[in-house]
Amino acid sequence: MKWLLMLALLSLMSGCAGKVVGRDQCASLLDTAWKELDLAKTEGFGGAVSYTKAAGLLTAAKTQQTLERYPSCIDKAKRARFYIAESRAGR
């Protein structure tokens, strides 16, 4: 009986621990990307299409963060940063 209870408790704890993998990286990438997007806006819209793509990806990444889907958040934030760089380069 003790082993069953211990196994259930460990299973529950490992399920919660899985949710935090990537949380900090997601938050950091989102913070950096939003700052870069604001800077790109300040510099002008040389690459308006890339800027729009980046803004859409960041909105989607924020949604993924809220849903605790951190790998997807990280992927979208990284892609957004690419489009932000393209926008700042006028492409």
Q: Per residue in 4-62, pLDDT tens?
A: 444 454 454 444 555 689 999 999 999 999 999 999 888 876 788 999 999 999 999 99
Q: Provide the number of structural domains found in the chain.
A: 1
11 occurs within a structural domain: no
Global pTM reads: 0.75
For the chain, give percent helix, strand, coil, nearest 5: 85, 0, 15
Distance CA 63, CA 46 (A): 27
The answer to the question of residue 72 being in a domain is yes
Determine, yes or no, domain membership for 49: yes
**Tokens read off for 62:** 């924020």
- Nearest partner of 50 among 82, 77, 75, judged by Cα: 82
CA end-to-end span of the chain: 64
| 6 assigned to some structural domain | no
- Kindly state the helix (H) or strand (E) to which residue 54 belongs, with its residue range: helix 48-66
**In this predicted structure, what is the pLDDT of residue 2?**
52
Tally of CB atoms within 10 A around 81: 18
Q: Report the C-alpha gap between 39 and 37 in whole angstroms.
A: 5
Q: Which domain holds residue 44?
A: 21-88
Q: What is the pLDDT of residue 48?
A: 87
Asked if residue 13 belongs to a domain, the reply is no
